[in-house]
Amino acid sequence: MSVNLNSQAGGQKASLQPKKVCPKSVLTFYKPLLLDWANKIYTSSCWKNLPVFKSTANVLQVMFSQLAKITDELYISSATAVTADRLRRSAITLVINCTIEVPLIHVPDVETMKINVDDLPSARIGLYFDRCADRIKMVHDRGGRTLVHCAAGVSRSASICIAYLMKYHRMSLREAYAHMKACRQIIRPNPGFFRQLIDYETRLFGKATVAMVTSPIGFIPDVYREEAKNMVMLTTAPTSTRLR
């Protein structure tokens, strides 16, 4: 069964400024952060001897081709990682596609759900937090597993997974983000999505554990402070230094 939640939800538009974003442009936007993260993984003493990681670029290739396990019932990935074989191997029974630009995958015995949302700070992804979280819980209750993906598995899908962890695993936003980060280190909901997650946490628990703060790259959640410093250094460093 396929469910398509279009850009209209409750009479409200899901994006204030609709605009198609291709996967390549998403990856280009996050490239400085991703390269820095991949280089740290590749040069880390606990990872560098693993044969699967042959280079910094290979780290990204591995990450963008895997289904990352968040909980027993929930996985996250990029769009390129979603294949029939990987879905079968991980016993996925529902795929939630959080993009406008990526078509639904059709696999026998796998349900699909699509929310049409752009990876833009103005996009109203919060409209889908409850309905996606409720659907993931419903699938789990009947013994199934859900994969949530967007284009890169960095922002949109991560936001939906964090909302689920808050609602049904009763994690604070800070705890849910830390758990997601431990499972898939490249997640980074855009600042607009994080602001909506803060509002959602306040609605669920009556208080917020993450605050929006100023930085050289604009308003960001306080959990991004160190990453923001790295992004500024990477985007101002010579190209030969950045692309290792």
Q: Pick from 167, 102, 100: which is nearest to 129 by CA?
A: 167
**Contact call for residues 163 and 129 (beta carbons, < 8 A):** yes
In this structure, what DSSP letter does residue 180 have? Answer: H
Q: Is the pLDDT of residue 91 over 80?
A: yes
Q: Which domains does the chain show, CATH number per domain?
A: 2-242 (3.90.190.10)
The pLDDT value given to residue 83: 96
* Residue 15, CA atoms < 13 Å, CB-side half-sphere: 19
Residue 190 neighbours by CB under 8 Å, 6+ apart: 119, 120, 121, 155
Active site residue 161: no
The pLDDT value given to residue 30: 52
51-55, 118-122, 138-142: range with lowest mean pLDDT: 51-55
What would the mean pLDDT of 190-201 be, rounded to a whole number?
97
Confidence of residue 217 (pLDDT cuts 50, 70, 90): confident
4-18, 102-116, 148-162, 226-240: range with lowest mean pLDDT: 4-18
User: Which residue is catalytic, options 98, 132, 150, 161?
Assistant: 150
Tell me whether residue 221 is exposed, middle or buried, using C-beta atoms within 10 angstroms of its C-beta: 0 to 12, 13 to 18, 19 or more: buried
Q: Which of the pair, 33 or 224, is modelled with greater confidence?
A: 224
CA separation for the pair 127, 34 (Å, rounded): 28
- Span between the terminal Cα atoms of the chain, in Å: 45
**Which own/partner pairs from 2-5 qualify as long-range (CB within 8 Å, at least 24 positions apart)?**
2/104, 2/106, 2/111, 2/112, 2/113, 2/114, 3/111, 3/112, 3/113, 3/114, 4/104, 4/113, 4/114, 4/116, 5/113, 5/114, 5/115, 5/116, 5/128, 5/131
Strand bridging mode 220-221 / 146-149 = unpaired
The pTM of the full predicted model, rounded to 2 decimals, is 0.77
Q: Is the pLDDT of residue 57 over 80?
A: no
% residues pLDDT > 90 (the chain): 63
Q: Is the pLDDT of residue 84 over 70?
A: yes
Strongest mean pLDDT among 2-11, 24-33, 226-235: 226-235
**Using one digit for the tens of pLDDT, what is the confidence trace for 141-172?**
999 999 999 999 999 999 999 999 999 999 99
Q: Which of the pair, 1 or 146, is modelled with greater confidence?
A: 146
% residues pLDDT > 70 (the chain): 70
